[in-house]
Amino acid sequence: MLEEALAEIRAAASLEALQEIKVRFLGKKGRLTQAFKAMKGLDPEERKARGQELNRVKQAIEKALEEREAEIKAAELAAKLEREREDVSLPGLALAPGGFHVATQILDELVDVFRRMGYQAVTGPEAEDEFHNFDALNIPPHHPARDMWDTFWLEDGHLLRTHTSPMQVRYMEAHTPPFQIVVPGKVYRHEATDATHEAMFHQLEGLAVGEGITLAHLKGALLTMARALYGENAKVRLQPSFFPFVEPGVEFLVWWTDPRTGEGRWLEVGGAGMVHPAVFKAADDAREKAGLPRVYENVTGFAFGLGVERIAMLRYGIPDVRYFYSNRLAFLRQFPRP
């Protein structure tokens, strides 16, 4: 029996085959177990000798099983390593370097221009409350001007800010004039998209407040911006417009010369105006409620808000605002800047 078992074990090619042999010889109904049971009828002397012999056979089989198991495992591991061998000499795949989105590039450039004019850049929440987005900007509930800004409402009564103007009020609530700030950021509008309208886009808000600030200062700031963006020959035009939070209100246009054709035209870039007294009052009222002094009764200020994507479209001749956020790499790669 021993020779037979050892031969089988040597021939076993897998762990499963080995297990099967083990059961057949050493299992409950295995041949060796049977042989132990068959000793019952023998007389004591014979039984002792037979028992010792069978124990030796058992040990020999167990040892052979163990050794063969180790061999098979080693062979399997070697085969697996061979199968999964990595060719470390293969050249790697180069990762494409990321770059800033074209809207971010323009926004950075704009913020830079205004920093050089002494403005400080601040940011505010995209999930706004109705008070800062509308009421404090002289747009009471049911005022028809609310139609100018189709709004995404959040379930908890907040909204996605429809412009960066709410930061005018937030900033004034917490700061004392004089100051000049710009507010870059995302805004959202619940409107049908088309070539010039997206549901999400970026604005840059500007606010300058102090004694004796006039519309001429506004025009000067916008002219400096236009020259920085479009060159020394850039021109700016203000034309009357209406926004509830400024009086007078204007739209500003930039004279832009197409570098390819040499032709120029007026392009609308944003809204602006002199801060409306109702906005100063809303800020002062909020300050008073918070235990702060009223500081906006003897100052004037100007504010502006411009569309960042529009500026990029003018600069690069991009025909459709929807290209910006459709994640087409062929579009985005045209504006590389690491």
Interacting residue ranges for ligand FA5, rule: CB under 6 A: 163, 165, 189, 191, 197-198, 201, 203, 243, 246, 268-273, 303-307, 309-310, 321
Instruction: Report the residue number, 287 or 301, with the smaller CB distance to ligand FA5.
Output: 301
| Three-state DSSP state, 69 | helix
Q: Is 246 part of the annotated catalytic residue set?
A: yes
Kindly report whether the peptide bond that precedes residue 178 is cis, defined as omega within 30 degrees of 0: yes
Residue 237 annotated in active site: no
Work out how close the CB of 94 gets to ligand FA5 at its nearest, in angstroms, rounded to a whole number.
Answer: 35
189 is catalytic: yes
Torsion of CA 320, 324, 329, 334, to 10 degrees: 70
* Element (DSSP H or E) covering residue 303: strand 300-307
Question: Among the options 246, 250, 275, 282, which is catalytic?
Answer: 246
247 is annotated as contributing to ligand binding:
yes
- At residue 16, φ and ψ (nearest 5 deg) are -65, -45
Q: Rank residues 8 and 198 by Cβ distance to ligand FA5 and give the closer one.
A: 198
Closest by CA to 216, choosing from 270, 274, 268, 279, is 274
Residue 17: active-site member:
no
120 catalytic residue (yes or no): no
User: Minimum Å distance from CB 293 to ligand FA5?
Assistant: 25
Residue 230: CB minimum distance to ligand FA5, A: 15
Q: In the bound complex, what is the minimum distance in angstroms from residue 108's beta carbon to ligand FA5?
A: 18
d(C-alpha 115, C-alpha 51), whole Å:
99
**Residue 111 among the catalytic residues:** no
Q: How far apart are CA 140 and CA 147, in angstroms?
A: 12
Active site residues: 149, 163, 189, 203, 246, 303
Annotated binding site for Mg(2+): 247
